[in-house]
Amino acid sequence: MTPALVLSGQNRTDRLPVSLPMRLVRNPLGLIAGSYLFLLVLVAAIGPLLVSFGPSQADISNVFGPISAEHLLGGDSAGRDVLSRLVYATSLSLLGAAITVVVAIAAGVPAGLIAGYRGGWFGELSAWFAGVMLSLPAIVVLLAARSVIGPSMWLIMAIFGVLISPSYYRIVFTSVRGVREELYIDAARAAGLSDLRIVGRHVLSAVRAPVILLTSGIFGAAIAIQAAVDFLGLGDPELPTWGSMLSEGFYNISRTPMLLVWPAIAIALTCVAFTLFGTVLRDELERTGPVRSYGNQGWTPPSGETGAALTHARTDQPTTAPLLEVDNLAVAYHSDAGWRTVVHDVSLKVHPGEVHALIGESGSGKTQTAWSILGLLPQGGRVVSGSIRFDGTELADANDSVLTGFRGRRIGYVPQEPLSNLDPSYTVGHQLLEPLRVVQGLSREAARSRSLDLLSRVGIPAPRRVFDSYPHEISGGMAQRVLIAGAVSCEPDLIIADEPTTALDVTVQAEILQLLRDLQLEFGTAMLLVTHNFGVVADIANTVSVMKEGKIVETGSVEQVFAEPRHPYTRDLFGALLGDAPSRGPLTPIGKTAP
Ligand SMILES: Nc1ncnc2c1ncn2[C@@H]1O[C@H](COP(=O)(O)OP(=O)(O)OP(=O)(O)O)[C@@H](O)[C@H]1O
């Protein structure tokens, strides 16, 4: 069988992840906006050294002077060179906007981090303060400040920074709140990392993107506010800024309209460039890359154990065509250190109505195999070789819209961690309704009644109460039943269940297995079941494939593999199960004698 991807992958234009500056340059908007801003900063930095006239150097013969070789943009009402003033104004306007941004970040970001991470009295006080600040009309406060402190552009811009800092506070607060409850933050705490380190390492990355986007908008807003203050004649008359040039142009619009055009173009282009660049930068920083990319440049099959899996000759071979057929699948992750292959040479078939179990120790590649079929490999993961055919359609090199046509429609998924797979912000009912309405196009009422039926079908005793509950109000076993209800809601042909009972206690495990078995029989659904538990395999599966270090080493019917395990690794796995040794008896309570 030709591995579809090895052939098609060579012709793909997908590239490996490249550095951030390169990604920005490759993005046309990033390139245009970035080049403009680079030029602007260059003009601001070295422009004043290059122009021939000072910003206030008046020449009576150049009053409203025309464009000439000496004065490339002509002269203004006082005979000053417009180009020179524009260049000096670029430095001052950018510096003024930078002051606003620095002050706003310095005040808003740390406050948002502390309030979001720690909460407590600081959180309440700062939230109140931010609310008050946001309710103040910035321009009115600036005008009042101007009358008290005088025409200092720097102070006005710093005050504007303070006024706008609650925007940073709010956005950082919300982002930090979002990650604060994540398990990896708890794990970092449990590992003894200091709060400062956790914030620096884990939390800052979550606030990076919104802060960048906001900064680009605030830079533009600061330039506009500064221009407005100067335009109203309230700025420092000594300093040439785009706003003061705009004001002068406006007063002389009938005489020399171009005096208005130059600063207006500079302000407009700069605001647009900052916003565009911020958006592109945010997108590139957050870009997870195509979830599923087919590029395999530089990947080579791993050396080491090769050869086909030990396959038991089946006497009960299904006669129907396989629903799912995976051939020579290889999955690898790319990082700066190169490729790391986590699944290789995996071939398996799942027939309609069959339960095929993938078993192996932790890290053997079971989940990666399952996620490849769903097209849900995490960032950096790629199907680098092989083919995945579902009911005749090749999924290995399918684009996301093809995969979306199968996921949640013909292929259901039951994940490992039930509670982490339900969105805490929505009720269980909402999360069940949404796919039924969007995927199956049911009306709200029909979807509601079907959801309640499903909840009852998966053994939830009070479906209405669970329907209206939030995930934190239900137990893990209940949440797993909800997810199973969601997976079967579209009556899929195949369910991929990734260790569906691992996170549950033993009694609930048995109930969930029974439920899966019943549903599988009722709907005739095929199932690819990922597990590391032979008890689960014996309980529910028809076929089992044993995985070791990313490869299937043995495959056959459950009866065959249990009766006659051939691969030493399979025998080791069986050997690791509890044997027939007598039980140790009850534990002795501390300080008491065992009965
Ligand atoms: N995002 C990732 N980046 C790099 N390597 C990864 C990533 N996710 C998983 N791996 C690697 O892929 C290998 C297979 O992982 P996989 O999750 O498939 O194991 P598993 O057999 O399902 O184990 P478990 O039972 O613990 O879930 C592991 O060695 C793991 O380190």
Atom of ligand 1 nearest to the CA of 365: 18
Question: Is 386 among the domain residues?
Answer: yes
pLDDT one-digit tens code per residue, 323-368: 999 999 999 988 777 888 999 999 999 999 899 999 988 889 999 9
Spatial separation of the C-alpha atoms in residues 572 and 135, rounded to whole Å: 68
281 and 342 inside one domain: no
CA of 315 to the centre of ligand 1 (A): 34
Atom of ligand 1 nearest to the CA of 360: 21
Residue with CA closest to ligand 1 atom 1:
378
- CA 354 vs CA 176, 289, 320: distances in Å: 45, 35, 11
Contact 248, 63 (CB under 8 A): no
3-state secondary structure of 331: strand
Q: How many CB atoms lie within 10 A of CB 478?
A: 23
Instruction: Quickly list H helices, 204-257.
Output: 204-231, 242-251
Band of pLDDT at residue 212, cut at 50, 70 and 90: confident
Spatial separation of the C-alpha atoms in residues 296 and 298, rounded to whole Å: 6
pLDDT one-digit tens code per residue, 230-249: 888 777 777 888 888 888 88
Q: E-assigned strands of 361-475?
A: 381-390, 393-394, 411-414
Question: Is 93 among the domain residues?
Answer: yes
- The last residue of a domain, from among 489, 510, 533: 489
pLDDT one-digit tens code per residue, 520-562: 888 888 999 999 888 888 888 999 999 998 999 999 999 999 9
Atom of ligand 1 nearest to the CA of 371: 18
441 and 516 inside one domain: no
Question: Is 70 among the domain residues?
Answer: no
Under 8 Å CB-to-CB from 473, ≥6 apart: which residues?
Answer: none
pLDDT one-digit tens code per residue, 558-585: 999 999 998 998 888 887 765 555 555 5
Residue 589: pLDDT above 50? yes
- The last residue of a domain, from among 286, 320, 338: 286
175 and 117 inside one domain: yes
102 and 251 inside one domain: yes
Long-range Cβ contacts of 179-185 (<8 Å, 24+ apart): 179/203, 179/206, 180/116, 180/117, 183/420
Q: Judge if pTM exceeds 0.90.
A: no
Q: How many CB atoms lie within 10 A of CB 255?
A: 10
Under 8 Å CB-to-CB from 315, ≥6 apart: which residues?
Answer: 557
How many domains does the chain contain in total? Answer: 3
- The last residue of a domain, from among 286, 318, 336: 286
Provide the domain limits for residue 251.
81-286
Spatial separation of the C-alpha atoms in residues 398 and 383, rounded to whole Å: 11
Question: Is 568 among the domain residues?
Answer: yes
199 and 247 inside one domain: yes
Domain CATH code at residue 269: 1.10.3720.10
Q: Which of 368, 501, 547, 569 to mutate to test the pocket of ligand 1 (most atoms within 8 A of CB)?
A: 368
Tokens encoding 228: 């407005």
466 and 498 inside one domain: no
Strand-pair partners of 544: 357, 556
- CA 329 vs CA 398, 411, 450, 526, 569: distances in Å: 14, 19, 37, 20, 21
229 and 279 inside one domain: yes
Question: Is 53 among the domain residues?
Answer: no
Instruction: Give residue for tokens 């590029």.
Output: 295
Residue 293: pLDDT above 70? no
Closest CA to 71 of 240, 258, 318: 258
pLDDT one-digit tens code per residue, 507-522: 777 778 888 888 888 8
CA of 549 to the centre of ligand 1 (A): 10
Residue with CA closest to ligand 1 atom 24:
362
194 and 338 inside one domain: no
Instruction: Give residue for tokens 């303070």.
Output: 162
524 and 535 inside one domain: yes
CA of 364 to the centre of ligand 1 (A): 7
Residue type, 501: T
Tokens encoding 222: 């600061």
Residue 2: pLDDT above 70? no
Strand-pair partners of 412: 495
Question: Is 69 among the domain residues?
Answer: no
538 and 435 inside one domain: no
**What's the confidence (pLDDT) of residue 291?**
41
Residue 20: pLDDT above 70? yes
Question: Is 8 among the domain residues?
Answer: no
Cα–Cα–Cα angle for 497, 327, 543, nearest 5°? Answer: 45
CA of 363 to the centre of ligand 1 (A): 5
Contact 477, 508 (CB under 8 A): yes
Spatial separation of the C-alpha atoms in residues 457 and 32, rounded to whole Å: 57
Q: Is the CB of 296 under 6 A from ligand 1?
A: no
483 and 513 inside one domain: no
271 and 384 inside one domain: no
CA of 532 to the centre of ligand 1 (A): 13
Question: Is 516 among the domain residues?
Answer: yes
Instruction: Give residue for tokens 């196009």.
Output: 441
Spatial separation of the C-alpha atoms in residues 492 and 374, rounded to whole Å: 13
Q: Lay out the sheet containing 355-360: strands in order across.
A: 310-311, 551-557, 543-548, 355-360, 526-531, 494-498, 411-414
Mean pLDDT of the chain: 83
